[in-house]
Amino acid sequence: MTINHKRRLLLAGVGAGGLALSAAAVTAQNQERVIKVVAKKFDFTPGEIRLKKNQPVTLEFTTLDVVMGFALPDFGVRTDILPGTTARIRFTPDKAGQFPFHCDIFCGSGHESMTGTVIVT
Amino acid sequence: MDQAIKRRSFLKLAGLGGAIYVSGLSGWASAAAKAGNAYQDFFFVQLSDTHWGFEGAPNPDARGTLKKAVQAVNSLEQQPDFIVFTGDLTHTTDDPLERRKRLREFKEIVAELKVKDVRFMPGEHDASLDNGAAYQEFFGKTHYSFEHKGVFFIVLDNVSDPAGSIGEQQLAWLAAELQPLPADANIVVFTHRPLFDLYPQWDWATRDGAKAVELLMPHANVTVFYGHIHQAHHHMTGHIAHHAAKSLIFPLPAPGSQPKRTPLAWDDAYPYRGLGYREIEAEAAPKTDFKIVELPVQKG
Ligand SMILES: [Cu+2]
């Protein structure tokens, strides 16, 4: 429920940004970061993702072996990561701190240690 | 009541586990009367997260603890009406043959229980890698219901889906099971993972658990017993009480109490600390009253 709601807000944000093609918006878009995250049994690389508060980011996920999940509950975002495709999450961290993420699709013995940290400064 | 007290002191003497006494599930007597049963007190035992096949530092007696628990239950002065294992009977292995070997060995060990009415359900370690296929070969259905002395028990499977969902099909089944029950029926739900968002950061949740809770909400007397988090924990969602059990392999930290969900270390000074099983006693009483006694596990 929370996730859907937040996603809708994010989408609304994207729409508004797209319409108002002001100089500021173009600059912001140029600055927007894309971070590639690779999943494989049983880790994410990088395992530590550093983000800036109030700065939108797109995380791009691929998996080298089986179906994985990426869940970052503190920001209400998650995605499935299917072999052969790229999954994307775009969000804006609105609070600073350290937030755990994990694989939320059971992927084998070692699944439970498939975790990492988002650090927002 | 006298018998209950006797059992309590016996457990203290045996010092073998945590015990929880559930006194007087509300509406119990009336539901039993409606069902035409003469009401009788009874108790059952919950064991959880035995993780048979696990080897490692947090439990140097990994192959002995389950057997000790079986002995402890067998040595209760009075035997329970039934025993329930709330999942993670075995520890994950990627090898389907090894998975079956562990399930077989687990089944052989618990066959030593004196009480033959034993109810099982899978945990994600048993079932998530093959959607419960191996589990079902040994233990049958992963979700089912049964009635015992006026109480309606529902076993929900939130682990055979590797994403940790109950799924629409099973939710429809749950709705159909609940539909004919009177509003004040005594309902006890067993699951492996918590049905509520205990700590999603550690995956201590069920993706569509809120849907199950929503279906249970109209019923006045619902109690949920689950496993998965390897510690005693108590939580209310509205009027529904949720009680997590200790494990029989290693304790896990309190939700969010440390950065990672790593097992608590074995302490030689306090062997078996944080491990245990529980007794749940239902007594006829006008209202729900939970009496909780936690007892340390001691060297057997
Ligand atoms: Cu578990």
Give the model's pLDDT for residue B22: 38
Q: Is residue B48 part of a domain?
A: yes
Give the model's pLDDT for residue B296: 42
- pLDDT digits over B167-192, tens only? 999 999 999 999 999 988 889 999 99
Does the beta-carbon distance from B201 to A105 stay under 8 Å?
no
The pair phi, psi for residue A46, each rounded to 5°, is: -70, 155
Helix (H), strand (E) counts: chain B: 8, 12
Please give the structure tokens belonging to residue B225.
Answer: 């017993």
Does the beta-carbon distance from A115 to B200 stay under 8 Å?
no
ipTM given for this complex = 0.82
Q: Is B202 on the interface with A (CB under 8 A)?
A: yes
Q: A75: which chain B residues are within 8 Å (Cβ-Cβ)?
A: none
> How many domains, chain B?
1
Here the CATH number for the domain that contains residue B275 is 3.60.21.10
- pLDDT confidence tier of residue B35, bands split at 50, 70 and 90: very low
Higher pLDDT, B153 or A10: B153
What is the mean predicted confidence (pLDDT) over B217-226? 94
**Comparing A100-114, B24-38, B232-246, which segment has the lowest mean pLDDT?**
B24-38
CB contact set of A32 (below 8 Å; sequence gap of 6+): A55, A56, A57, A58
Which of B128, B201, B202, B206 to probe the A interface (max A CBs under 10 A)?
Answer: B201
The residue of chain B nearest to residue A105, with distances taken between CA atoms, is B163
Query: Is the confidence at residue A71, as pLDDT, over 60?
Result: yes
Q: Is residue B15 part of a domain?
A: no
What is the mean predicted confidence (pLDDT) over B146-154? 91
- pLDDT confidence tier of residue A19, bands split at 50, 70 and 90: very low
Q: A2: which chain B residues are within 8 Å (Cβ-Cβ)?
A: none
Q: Is residue B10 part of a domain?
A: no
Q: Is B131 on the interface with A (CB under 8 A)?
A: no
- pLDDT digits over B233-251, tens only? 999 999 999 999 999 999 9
Q: Is residue B185 part of a domain?
A: yes
Give the domain range for residue B78: 36-296
Query: Is the confidence at residue B210, as pLDDT, over 60?
Result: yes
Give the model's pLDDT for residue A4: 47
Q: Is residue B246 part of a domain?
A: yes
Q: Give CA–CA dist B114/B122, Å, rounded.
A: 22
Does the beta-carbon distance from B201 to A111 stay under 8 Å?
no
Q: Is residue B14 part of a domain?
A: no
* CA-closest candidate to residue B210, choices B221, B199, B196, B200: B196
Q: Is residue B226 part of a domain?
A: yes
Give the model's pLDDT for residue B41: 72
Q: Is residue B25 part of a domain?
A: no
Interface of A with B (CB under 8 A): 1, 67, 69, 71, 73-74, 98-100, 102, 104-109, 111-112, 115, 117
- pLDDT digits over B268-298, tens only? 998 898 998 888 877 655 444 444 444 444 4
